[in-house]
């Protein structure tokens, strides 16, 4: 007997043998058991999901000698003839080869005759969307009111091409694609019954390559058995399909984590030896990054279908969440631009080097490992040493204290003397040839710091308070060379020393100082570009500006109790921290519970726990250290605050001002006159308070 392929040998012959499509099978089984039979059924779905198979099973259910039911016997002559494809009352029509209207008319001429052997004459029209418009028009009337002994079973992979007049006359069932898990489960059953040795990894490769089609999976399994000489092994299947070993993808990702350009290029060289599809390599990387992102959000949701669950979890712990999202987005853009590259391998290498060169600026944990100098420009790659990426920085000249002359250029903006948010340097001086611009105060890079920072130069550079700028502001004259102003700088030194007399502890290595502590009221904090800046006015604190930006977050609910004691102290302390972004949002939803010396405890509303991570806690702790002038041990617990938080206080004040504004509009005599004379209505949602919050 000749060999029969697996797709035909294992074609289901009853509903209980079907794999998947339970939403379709349930409706058909209930209809057959209750004798609620429609005259036309339409099955849609991609190739190889069971459309024709279900139609043949329905034909057996309708004509089985034991009676109409959802469980045909499979042994009577009718069932055997249908399985063998020679039942005279099952007319299978390939609409792709019979598209003319003459073929349809010839088919319909025999509809009026009774079936020869069975109860029903079943017309199975496959790929029905290939019929011409004239053929559809000829079929409409018969399809709507066929003789009682006729059933129409239509199957198509493209239901959008069917006229709505045909769709309205049929019961439509949409068959779903087979997920890889279901395909692997069925292949395991088939190969076990066929006594074919196999590896689980090989079945997962076949399940993903089938792309939702069970027939494609069975055909690929036949090919894999022949390729592997009677065995289905992962290495053979990978070579047959031309897919990559996941280990090489992980090698590329580990090189990215370490910032090692040599290892990255070496990994690409090993990949090139296999002659891969570089677009497919990027796709595999994106799949791994997708699973890593899932592992960071919900570790238990990561499956072990590819046998790499532990490696995914390790990557999830090693890679910051910001880098995972950045690499994924960069890979998507790289796939789009890869066809434009002069050479696919060169385009792939450029995508990886772009991932290596660009990192989120100012992030404490990105990259966690300093980039190696080989092949990568430190001026652009090492974001820890220069968090303000892309900003032109003049060469530092270390000799004198920071000049105050830039304040004279913009006297209304005290942020002009704002020092750079990078790690503190001993001292700096401007270039004497021309006036120094306010934002471009030269600062020595963090890489030039000594092993132990000296406390004397740290205080003037990092903790220059706004009172210092205001104290020396009357001394400044219009724009003039720096040299004549030097005597005035010396007179301002006692003020700086008096305000910043408390010695600030040096920040730990790898964690940059909080830029908000010395940031301006008119400029966003530098270096926090890895998260969205939160406007301080939305918290309704008086920073000397009018409220211009509407809140973009959900209005927090009022607290059960007003703030007293430590909670009230936290309300007054929060604006002094000058925090923004996610760190500011977390601090705004906290309340101070304990302050035993340097040991502080905050309670954070659990509703905002999604924003909370160790990085945000370090930033908040550094901000408290700078504001208090001492080292504070901060603990944050997820607990519903019982007293008012800064965000709730801001919401309450906004609500009070809104109610006051609405009341003033309603009480306005002119408005009342318009309401009485013209039946006007006041839209409260259009009223906005214009007074500055107190």
**Would you kindly state where each structural domain of the chain is located, as residue ranges?**
6-174, 180-241, 274-381, 451-503, 536-650, 651-686
Instruction: Categorize the per-residue pLDDT at 322 as very low, low, confident or very high, splitting at 50, 70 and 90.
Output: confident
Residues in a beta bridge with 604: 590, 638
Q: Is the pLDDT of residue 621 over 80?
A: yes
pTM of the model: 0.49
Residue 587: C-alpha distances to residues 5, 477, 539 (Å) = 66, 40, 11
Of 247 and 406, the structure prediction assigns the larger pLDDT to: 247
Instruction: Categorize the per-residue pLDDT at 153 as very low, low, confident or very high, splitting at 50, 70 and 90.
Output: very high
At which residue do the structure tokens 């409409």 appear? 140
d(CA 496, CA 533): 30
Of 578 and 152, the structure prediction assigns the larger pLDDT to: 152
The three-point CA angle 453-459-461 to 5° equals 90
pLDDT for the residue 435? 45
Q: Is the pLDDT of residue 380 over 80?
A: no
Q: What is the pLDDT of residues 161-206, one digit of tens each?
A: 999 999 999 999 999 998 888 899 999 999 999 999 998 888 888 9
Instruction: Categorize the per-residue pLDDT at 560 as very low, low, confident or very high, splitting at 50, 70 and 90.
Output: low
Q: What is the pLDDT of residues 222-231, one digit of tens each?
A: 999 999 888 9
Of 350 and 242, the structure prediction assigns the larger pLDDT to: 350
Q: Is the pLDDT of residue 441 over 90?
A: no
Count other Cβ atoms within 10 Å, centred on residue 634: 17
Q: Is the pLDDT of residue 66 over 50?
A: yes
| Contact present, 188 and 218 (Cβ < 8 Å) | no
Instruction: Categorize the per-residue pLDDT at 101 as very low, low, confident or very high, splitting at 50, 70 and 90.
Output: confident
Q: Is the pLDDT of residue 239 over 90?
A: no
Instruction: Categorize the per-residue pLDDT at 363 as very low, low, confident or very high, splitting at 50, 70 and 90.
Output: low
Q: Residue 611 CA to chain centroid, in angstroms?
A: 15
Burial of 245 (0-12, 13-18, 19+ CB in 10 A): middle
pLDDT for the residue 329? 92
DSSP 409-447: HSTT-GGGGPPPSSS--S--B--TTSPPPSS------GG
With respect to CATH, is domain 274-381 assigned 3.40.190.10?
A: no
Q: Is the pLDDT of residue 524 over 50?
A: no
pLDDT for the residue 366? 43
Q: DSSP assignment, residue 35?
A: T
Closest by CA to 180, choosing from 145, 208, 220, 147, is 208
- Average pLDDT for residues 326-333, to the nearest whole number? 91
d(CA 114, CA 111): 8
d(CA 511, CA 498): 27
Q: Which of 210-214, 261-265, 604-608 has the lowest mean pLDDT?
A: 604-608
Q: Is the pLDDT of residue 65 over 50?
A: yes
DSSP 604-659: E-GGGGGG--HHHHHHHHHHHHHHHTS--EEEEEE---SB--HHHHHHHHHHHHHH
- Average pLDDT for residues 306-319, to the nearest whole number? 82
Residue 235: C-alpha distances to residues 258, 303, 386 (Å) = 29, 21, 46
CATH superfamily ID and name for 536-650: DNA polymerase III, tau subunit, domain V (3.30.300.150)
Instruction: Categorize the per-residue pLDDT at 367 as very low, low, confident or very high, splitting at 50, 70 and 90.
Output: very low
The angle that helices 261-272 and 246-258 make with each other, rounded to 10 degrees, is 160
What are the DSSP E strand ranges found in 365-416? none
| Contact present, 688 and 682 (Cβ < 8 Å) | no
Q: Residue 677 CA to chain centroid, in angstroms?
A: 56
| Contact present, 472 and 495 (Cβ < 8 Å) | yes
Q: What is the pLDDT of residues 279-288, one digit of tens each?
A: 888 888 898 8
Count other Cβ atoms within 10 Å, centred on residue 52: 18
pLDDT for the residue 216? 92
**CATH fold of 6-174, please?**
Rossmann fold (3.40.50)
Distant-in-sequence, close-in-space partners of 456: CB < 8 Å, separation ≥ 6: none
- Average pLDDT for residues 655-682, to the nearest whole number? 88
Distant-in-sequence, close-in-space partners of 40: CB < 8 Å, separation ≥ 6: 143, 146, 151, 152, 153, 154, 169, 170, 171
Instruction: Categorize the per-residue pLDDT at 61 as very low, low, confident or very high, splitting at 50, 70 and 90.
Output: very high
Of 185 and 413, the structure prediction assigns the larger pLDDT to: 185
d(CA 255, CA 367): 12
Instruction: Categorize the per-residue pLDDT at 549 as very low, low, confident or very high, splitting at 50, 70 and 90.
Output: very low
d(CA 380, CA 359): 9
Q: What is the pLDDT of residues 243-256, one digit of tens each?
A: 766 677 888 888 88
Q: Which tokens in the block code for residue 542? A: 């008086």
H-run or E-run covering 455? helix 455-462
Q: Is the pLDDT of residue 54 over 90?
A: yes
d(CA 611, CA 613): 7
Q: Which tokens in the block code for residue 551? A: 């809140």
| Contact present, 489 and 401 (Cβ < 8 Å) | yes
Q: Is the pLDDT of residue 566 over 70?
A: yes
pLDDT for the residue 306? 67
Q: Which tokens in the block code for residue 423? A: 């790690």
At which residue do the structure tokens 């439509």 appear? 172
Estimate the share of the chain in helix, then strand, then coil, as percent rounded to the nearest 5. 50, 5, 45
Of 64 and 395, the structure prediction assigns the larger pLDDT to: 64
Q: Is the pLDDT of residue 581 over 70?
A: yes
| Contact present, 485 and 405 (Cβ < 8 Å) | yes
Instruction: Categorize the per-residue pLDDT at 120 as very low, low, confident or very high, splitting at 50, 70 and 90.
Output: very high
- Average pLDDT for residues 7-31, to the nearest whole number? 91
Task: Report which listed range, 233-242, 386-395, 545-554, is most confident.
Answer: 233-242
Q: Which tokens in the block code for residue 95? A: 């609409």
Phi, psi for residue 397 in degrees, rounded to 5: -125, 110
Instruction: Categorize the per-residue pLDDT at 293 as very low, low, confident or very high, splitting at 50, 70 and 90.
Output: very high
Q: How would you classify residue 414: left for phi > 0, otherwise alpha for psi between -120 and 50, otherwise beta?
A: alpha
| Total residues found in the chain within this entry | 694
Distant-in-sequence, close-in-space partners of 288: CB < 8 Å, separation ≥ 6: 246, 249, 250, 253, 312, 315
- Average pLDDT for residues 113-128, to the nearest whole number? 90
pLDDT for the residue 561? 75
pLDDT for the residue 200? 86
| Contact present, 97 and 123 (Cβ < 8 Å) | no
The alpha carbons of the chain give a radius of gyration, in whole angstroms, of: 37
Q: Is the pLDDT of residue 75 over 80?
A: yes
Q: Which tokens in the block code for residue 129? A: 């969307």
- When the pLDDT of each residue in the chain is averaged and rounded to a whole number, the result is 74
Q: Is the pLDDT of residue 468 over 60?
A: no
Q: Is the pLDDT of residue 633 over 70?
A: yes
pLDDT for the residue 361? 59
| Contact present, 421 and 516 (Cβ < 8 Å) | no
| Contact present, 307 and 270 (Cβ < 8 Å) | no
Count other Cβ atoms within 10 Å, centred on residue 189: 12
Instruction: Categorize the per-residue pLDDT at 557 as very low, low, confident or very high, splitting at 50, 70 and 90.
Output: low
N-term to C-term CA, the chain: 94
pLDDT for the residue 690? 80
The three-state secondary structure class of 172 is strand
d(CA 177, CA 45): 7
**CATH fold of 180-241, please?**
Helicase, Ruva Protein; domain 3 (1.10.8)
pLDDT for the residue 580? 82
| Contact present, 53 and 13 (Cβ < 8 Å) | no
């Amino acid at each position: 007997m000749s060999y029969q392929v697996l797709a035909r040998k294992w074609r289901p012959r009853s509903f209980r043998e079907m794999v998947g499509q339970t939403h379709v099978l349930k409706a058909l089984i209930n209809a057959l058991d209750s004798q609620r039979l429609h005259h036309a059924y339409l099955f849609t779905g991609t190739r190889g999901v069971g459309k024709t198979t279900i139609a043949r099973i329905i034909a057996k259910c309708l004509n089985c000698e034991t009676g109409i039911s959802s469980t045909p016997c499979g042994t009577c002559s009718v069932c055997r003839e249908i399985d063998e494809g020679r039942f005279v009352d099952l007319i299978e029509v390939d609409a792709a080869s019979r598209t003319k209207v003459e073929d349809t008319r010839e088919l319909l001429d025999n509809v009026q005759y009774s079936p020869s052997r069975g109860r029903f004459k079943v017309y199975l029209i496959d790929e029905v969307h290939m019929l011409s418009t004239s053929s559809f028009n000829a079929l409409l009337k018969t399809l709507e009111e066929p003789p009682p002994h006729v059933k129409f079973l239509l199957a198509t992979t493209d239901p959008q091409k069917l006229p709505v007049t045909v769709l309205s006359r049929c019961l439509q069932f949409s068959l779903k694609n087979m997920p890889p898990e279901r395909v692997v489960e069925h292949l395991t059953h088939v190969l076990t019954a066929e006594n074919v040795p196999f590896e689980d990894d090989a079945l997962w490769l076949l399940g993903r390559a089938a792309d939702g089609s069970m027939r494609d999976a069975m055909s690929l399994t036949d090919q894999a058995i022949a390729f592997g000489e009677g065995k289905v092994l992962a290495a053979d299947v990978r070579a047959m399909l031309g897919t990559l070993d996941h280990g090489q993808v992980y090698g590329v990702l580990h090189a990215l984590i370490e910032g090692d350009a040599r290892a990255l290029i070496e990994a690409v060289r090993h990949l090139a030896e296999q002659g891969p599809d570089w677009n497919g390599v990027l796709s595999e990387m994106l799949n791994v990054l997708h699973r890593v992102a899932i592992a960071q959000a919900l570790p238990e949701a990561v499956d072990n279908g590819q046998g790499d669950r532990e490696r995914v979890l390790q990557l999830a712990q090693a890679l910051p969440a910001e880098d995972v999202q950045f690499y994924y987005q960069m890979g998507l853009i790289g796939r789009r631009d890869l066809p434009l590259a002069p050479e696919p391998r060169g385009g792939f290498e450029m995508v990886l080097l772009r991932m290596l060169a660009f990192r989120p600026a100012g992030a404490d944990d990105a990259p966690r490992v300093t980039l190696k100098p080989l092949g990568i420009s430190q001026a652009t790659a090492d974001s820890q040493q220069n968090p303000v990426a892309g900003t032109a920085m003049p060469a530092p000249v270390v000799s004198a204290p920071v000049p105050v002359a830039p304040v004279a250029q913009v006297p209304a903006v005290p942020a002009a003397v704002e020092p750079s948010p990078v790690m503190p340097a001993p001292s700096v001086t401007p270039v004497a040839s021309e006036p120094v611009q306010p934002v471009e105060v030269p600062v020595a890079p963090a890489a030039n710091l000594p092993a132990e920072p000296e406390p004397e130069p740290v205080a003037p550079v990092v903790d220059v308070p706004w009172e210092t700028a205001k104290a020396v502001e009357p001394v400044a004259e219009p724009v003039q060379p720096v040299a004549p102003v030097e005597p005035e700088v010396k007179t301002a030194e006692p003020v700086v020393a008096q305000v910043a007399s408390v010695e600030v502890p040096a920040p730990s290595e790898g964690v940059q100082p909080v830029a908000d502590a010395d940031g301006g009221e008119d400029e966003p904090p530098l270096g926090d570009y890895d998260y969205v800046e939160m406007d301080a006015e939305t918290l309704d604190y008086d920073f000397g500006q009018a409220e211009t930006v509407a809140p973009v977050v959900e209005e927090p609910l009022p607290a059960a109790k007003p703030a007293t004691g430590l909670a009230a102290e936290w309300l007054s302390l929060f604006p002094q921290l000058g925090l923004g972004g996610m760190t500011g949002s977390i601090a705004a939803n906290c309340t101070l519970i304990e302050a035993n010396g340097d040991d502080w405890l905050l309670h954070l509303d659990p509703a905002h726990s999604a924003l909370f991570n160790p990085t945000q806690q370090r930033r908040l702790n550094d901000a408290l250290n700078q504001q208090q002038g001492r080292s504070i041990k901060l603990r944050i617990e997820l607990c519903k605050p019982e007293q008012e938080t800064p965000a709730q206080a801001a919401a309450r004040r906004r609500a009070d001002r809104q109610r006051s504004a609405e009341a003033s509009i309603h009480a306005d005599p002119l408005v009342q006159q318009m309401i009485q004379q013209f039946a006007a209505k006041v839209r409260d949602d259009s009223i906005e308070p214009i007074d500055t919050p107190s």
